[in-house]
Amino acid sequence: MDNLNAQYWQQRYRDGYTGWDIGHISGAMRHIIDQLPEEAKDLQILVPGGGNGYEVAYLWSKGFKNVWLLDWALAPLEEFQNRYPDFPPSQLIHLDFFALTGEYDLILEQTFFCALNPDKRKDYVRKMNSLLSMEGILRGVLFQVPMFPDRPPFGGSVEEYRTLFGEIFEVVYFQDCAYSEPARLGTEVEFKVRRKK
Ligand SMILES: C[S@@+](CC[C@H](N)C(=O)[O-])C[C@H]1O[C@@H](n2cnc3c(N)ncnc32)[C@H](O)[C@@H]1O
């Protein structure tokens, strides 16, 4: 699956071939964001592989100002800027996630991990770890069913994820996601991991 490059994803946005895009913030992500305490408003928050960035828009509307949307497809970032002209362009990062440097307190995951070739999973975990501040947390949802063997979304299992993330992170929890969209109900696990001290 060497073809899963920036051009591939850009073309999918151009063609409107975006089955993953539900057109609004998902119940799962809304639930996670709604749990953030008031003092989290100053956190540096990253949403990588965030596409149309519904979580970023939601965070922004709630007063989280240090929030970054990263994607290597330009189309959704341009679309986001058109929808939210007041959003700082410097917080829209058009880049390969694996080339990003910086430090974030919270990184949110939704349908980015499953879009990557599975042979990138260890790199993903290492990169996430390197992007987090000492108290940093990675939260989000992952598919906990096999999905497709040869094209995204690529699935997996909680057992696999516990091993994968547990090698580098302190696992806080992996639990069945109670707030999934109807079409994804039963297929997602909500997770929270933090940097090891
Ligand atoms: C399945 S889409 C999910 C988009 C968004 N998270 C959502 O839920 O609607 C996967 C996204 O990851 C982006 N992506 C894949 N690999 C990437 C990489 N190495 N660096 C940056 N973005 C990447 C794609 O361009 C695409 O927007």
Three-class secondary structure of residue 163 per DSSP? helix
pLDDT (mean) for 145-156: 95
Task: Give the pLDDT band (50/70/90) at residue 170.
Answer: very high
pLDDT per residue over 73-126, tens digit each?
Answer: 999 999 999 999 999 999 999 999 999 999 999 999 999 999 999 999 999 999
Helix (H, G, I), strand (E, B) or coil at 190: strand
In-domain check, residue 96: yes
Residue 33 lies in a domain: yes
Q: Which residue reads 């899963």 in tokens? A: 4
pLDDT of residue 161: 98
Q: What percent of the chain has pLDDT over 70?
A: 99
Q: What is the extent of the structural domain holding 182?
A: 6-195
Tally: H helices and E strands in the chain: 6, 7
In contact, 29 and 110? CB cutoff 8 Å: yes
Q: Distance from the CA of 12 to the center of ligand 1, in angstroms?
A: 11
Q: Give mean pLDDT, residues 128-147.
A: 97
**Strand stretches in the chain, DSSP E:** 45-48, 67-71, 92-94, 104-110, 132-143, 169-176, 188-195
Yes or no: say if 4 and 73 are a contact pair by the CB < 8 Å rule.
no
**For atom 9 of ligand 1, which residue has the closest CA?**
21
Q: How many domains does the chain have?
A: 1
Residue 10: predicted pLDDT: 98
Sorting pLDDT into bands at 50, 70 and 90, what band is 1? Answer: low
For the entire predicted model, the pTM comes to 0.98
105 burial (CB, 10 Å; 0-12 / 13-18 / 19+) is: middle
Q: Is the pLDDT of residue 27 over 80?
A: yes
Q: With respect to residue 146, please indicate whether it lies within any of the assigned structural domains.
A: yes
Q: What is the pLDDT of residue 155?
A: 96
Q: Is 181 contained in some domain?
A: yes
Going by alpha carbons, the residue nearest to atom 15 of ligand 1 is: 49
Average pLDDT of every residue of the chain:
97
CA of 76 to the centre of ligand 1 (A): 10
Nearest to 130, CA basis, from 93, 103, 162: 103
Hey, how many other C-beta atoms are within 10 angstroms of the C-beta on 197?
Answer: 6
Q: Quick check: 124 and 113 in contact, CB under 8 A?
A: yes
Protein residue with least CA distance to atom 10, ligand 1: 112
User: What's 84's domain CATH number?
Assistant: 3.40.50.150
91 lies in some domain? yes
Tens of pLDDT, residue by residue over 36-64, are 999 999 999 999 999 999 999 999 999 99
Confidence tier at 197 by pLDDT (50, 70, 90): confident
- Quote the ligand 1 centre to 46 CA distance (angstroms): 13
Q: Ligand 1 centroid vs 42 CA: distance in angstroms?
A: 25
- For β-strands 45-48 and 104-110, DSSP reports them as parallel
Please report whether residue 104 resides in a domain. yes
Say yes or no to pLDDT of 2 above 90. Answer: no
Q: Which atom of ligand 1 is nearest to the CA of 6?
A: 25
Pocket of ligand 1, beta carbon within 6 A: 9, 20-21, 49-52, 70-73, 76, 96-98, 110-112, 115-116
Q: How far does residue 62's CA lie from ligand 1's centre (Å)?
A: 23
CA of 34 to the centre of ligand 1 (A): 23
Residue 85 contacts residue 108 (beta carbons within 8 Å): no
Q: How many CA atoms lie within 13 A of 3 on its CB side?
A: 6
Residue 1 domain-assigned (yes or no): no
